[in-house]
Structures are given as structure tokens and as C-alpha cells.
Structure 1
């Protein structure tokens, strides 16, 4: 049994959709305001890393070429139109860690659900084991903090998603790299 540093996860892979520039700016402003209103200590996630995760593929020691290739092949088979996303509430998700994610979330619409399900089915057909939640809840994580924030309605933040992406996250380094993008075409 090996337990070397080279076996430790350094990267994770996930599929995501990103808010457009206007929505990302509004989400970042919301996070800044909530930090003040709720006296939160954690730093907000930078606007360029704000996203909705569609599917998490796992954590790996490096980026496994076979997983990335199968994921890209599966994603290339998705043929769906653009999807509207509306996020209209904030809340802290519960979790096992002391620092809980504070998110802005919304209800899943049929078109967004179709994107999540269709991509998930294609990934599973490609032999990729997914770590799925029983119910997809579109959300953008704003920050992680020990203080819990109760669910609260906000002025809706909406945008039209015109593409989805395969993203590499460098664990512990707060860095995301988009490996590939696929358009949603009307």
C-alpha cells in the first residue's frame, strides 16, 4: 500500500455553468454586502470563480487523461438550447465542516434540469462515476464561514446560460482552469 505525496489529490474536475458578467458582478456585490450585514469573517469567492456546478467528477492526483477524454466526449454529445437561470434566495447549506457554504440559490427549471440530467446520463454512459445529490439545486457558493445564515429571499439574479464547461480546480490553491467549453445552441 502506498501513501506517498504523489497519491494525494491535487486536482478536482467538475462541469459548471458560469454567470454572465452582469450577474457575476451582482453576485459578488451580494457577497460583499452579506459579509458586512452578517459580520462574516470569511473572504468572498472571487467573481471569476463564481459558478453553478452541474456535475462533480472527483478529486485526483493530477488530471487523469482518460477521465478528461471520456468527459469531453460525453459533453460533446449534448445538444440543448440556452438555459435561463434565476437565483432568488441566500442560505447557508448544512455540512459536516465547521465552515459552511453560504450560497445564493434558486429553483431548478425544466430546461436546467434537462441539462443536468442529460449531461449526467452521457457521463455515466461514458463510464464516469458521478457524485450526485438526490435533488439538483442550482446554487453559487459565495463563501465558507462558521456563522450560519438563515434562508432569505433576495432580488432575483438572472442570466441566460449559453455554454457549459469542464473545469479543473487546483485543490488548496483557489485556482480554476476551464479545460473545455460546449455551446448551448438554439
Structure 2
């Protein structure tokens, strides 16, 4: 098994008064630079039609599993448990197609898949099981809707098909976010197909 590549985890210091009270911890798919540019262009088209605030291109990702909003700073043991869960995954690379745009009730304009690939469902379910086994902070979700958050607070969204964007998934990441800043805590490659 290839070990995770860990990044540092610091947004300010523990002594900083502006330190966020919570941080979100989640597993995600990060697009390669070329796909990130295509997703950003599609997000711009949605913004032109729907308004709202665009997600910065560097922050575009597809969440695979949201672990939890945790008190900051996140305890090292929780990060280690999540990394241990990620390291147990033995799955092949897969393709997904981003071909839909829509809106969630919580005012998020998204890009997603009309057909969720079985391999993405398997990755999600495997991470849930692995997190429970390692003690990572996870909650079972009733419904998993893979999506890329493209906009916040769109004004007049109409769900519709978009030109299909091909996404070859070669790895997944453990990420943390706080006050709009994202940080990669670990990366695990998928096995070549």
C-alpha cells in the first residue's frame, strides 16, 4: 500500500485570536489542472446565467465523504484515524462524467453526474466502513450526491444538462477547510486500471 502524502495543517497558529472554532474534514476528488480549468469555465457560464458567488478555481473538488465539522485545532489522533482509513482503500482508477448542473436547497449551485459510476459509490462506501473501523469521525449519510460546488447563492438556477466533462479519477485526498481556506492532509493513489 502506498502511504499517504501528508501536508502540513496550519491556518494561523493556536494562539491566534482569529483561529476558526471549527474545521471541516472530508475526503475528496481533486481535478487535475486541465480539468480544473474546464470546470472553472463551466462554473463561469453558470455564474453568467444564475448569478451568485463563484467558487475559486483552486477550491473546486468533488466531496467523496464528509467526515465532520470538528473543533479547531483538529486533534492529531482524528487526522491519523482518517489517514489510516484512506490507506486501507485498494481500488482501481475510474472515469466519471460531469454532465449536469443544478441547485441544492441550501443555496449551492453545483456540477454533477446524471449517472453516478459504481466505482465512485464503492469508494464512498469503502471510506465510510474504513472510517468506522479506524475511529475517524464519520456519520452515515442517507444519500450521497456527488457534486462540485460551483456557486453560492445563485439567483435563478434551472437544473439542466451541460456538455459532458470527462474525469479520470486517479487519486483521492483528505482535506480540511476553515474560513474558506482548504488544505490537503493526505493523498492516496488508486491502482492503474
Per the alignment, residue 83 of structure 1 pairs with 94
Residues 92, 151 of structure 1: 8 Å contact kept: yes
| Cα root mean square deviation, aligned | 1.9
Describe the shift of the 1:28–1:116 C-alpha distance in structure 2 as closer, same or farther (beyond 3 A).
Answer: same
The equivalent position to 1:93 in structure 2, one of 104, 109, 115, is 104
- How big is the shift at 1:7? 10
Match of 1:126 in 2: 134
Are the aligned partners of 1:91 and 1:151 in contact in 2 as well (CA < 8 Å)?
yes
Q: How many residues align?
A: 174
Q: State the 1:132 CA deviation.
A: 4.0
- The alignment partner of 2:27 has SS state of strand
Structure 2 partner of 1:149: 157
Q: For structure 1, which segment, 158-167 or 6-15, has the greater mean C-alpha deviation from structure 2 after superposition? A: 6-15
Name the residue aligned to 1:105.
112
TM-score by length of 2: 0.83
Q: Which runs of 4+ in 1 moved over 4 A?
A: 5-8
In the alignment, structure 2 segments of 5+ residues that lack a partner are 1-16
The offset of 1:121, in angstroms, is: 0.7
Contact 1:80 / 1:115 at 8 angstroms: preserved in 2? Answer: yes
Post-superposition offset of 1:30: 1.1
Aligned to 1:22, which of 21, 29, 34?
Answer: 34
1:59 aligned residue: 69
